[in-house]
Structures are given as C-alpha cells and as structure tokens.
Structure 1
Amino acid sequence: KRVRTIFSAEQLERLEAEFARQQYMVGPERLVLAASLRLSESQVKVWFQNRRIKWRKQHLESQ
C-alpha cells in the first residue's frame, strides 16, 4: 500500500493555479510541473484527476 502524499502549501498553491488555468495537464507540461514541485508525474496526474472530481461535484451542487 502506498503512503498518502501530503502536499505543502506551496505545492497546493501552484497546483490550484495550474488547475484554474487548465483542468487537464498532460505530457511534457505535466513532467515539468512535477519536477518543479519535486513530485512524481503520477502524483501530479492523480492530483488533477481528484481535483476534477471535486470540481464536478461542486459544480453540480451549485446548480
């Protein structure tokens, strides 16, 4: 079983800013973001997946 990643405030701030800019992050862009945040590409990928689910849920509730 994998250890749950606890993101720092700086990492979350950057991830949220990127998500606000674009909800999907793929390929080299994701690699660069992961490297700059000292995270693995899969950690960034999963964060974006989970954030999209959270966004959809909030969006449905606000309608």
Structure 2
Amino acid sequence: MKTTAEYHQHAEECRLLARHLPEGEQRNQLLEMARTWESLAETRKALIRRHPELNTEKASTTAQSEAE
C-alpha cells in the first residue's frame, strides 16, 4: 500500500504534466487524476487515524503528512 506522501507526489506529478499541456481533454484528465490521488491520500490518512496499526510510513513521513 502506498504512503500518503506517495499519493501526494503522484498528484503533484499530474499537475506538473498538466501545466505543459494546452487546455483540453488531456489536461483535464491529468487534473482529474491529481484530484483522485489527493483523495486517496486523504482516505489513507483517515484509515490510519482509525487503525494506527496499518501505518507503514516512517515517523518523519507521517509527521510531515499530518502537518499538511
């Protein structure tokens, strides 16, 4: 299972790629993918809050993710 930081990184990569495309369907798809990755990150955070034993992230990564 990916960490929240990895989900956020994927979202950022989608946004960066989208910036280099003209407005249109491909750009919209990348922005939608970024929103999906961010949603997955939030879902992962909520899951970890409910079930801390599932936390496979390093302490520093977790602290950084929770600060965001």
- TM band (smaller chain): 0.3 to 0.5
TM-score (norm 2): 0.42
- Which structure would you say has the larger RCO, counting Cα contacts within 8 Å and 6 or more residues apart? 2
Larger radius of gyration: 2
From the two aligned structures, give the one with the greater helix fraction. Answer: 2
Q: TM-score with structure 1 length normalisation? A: 0.45
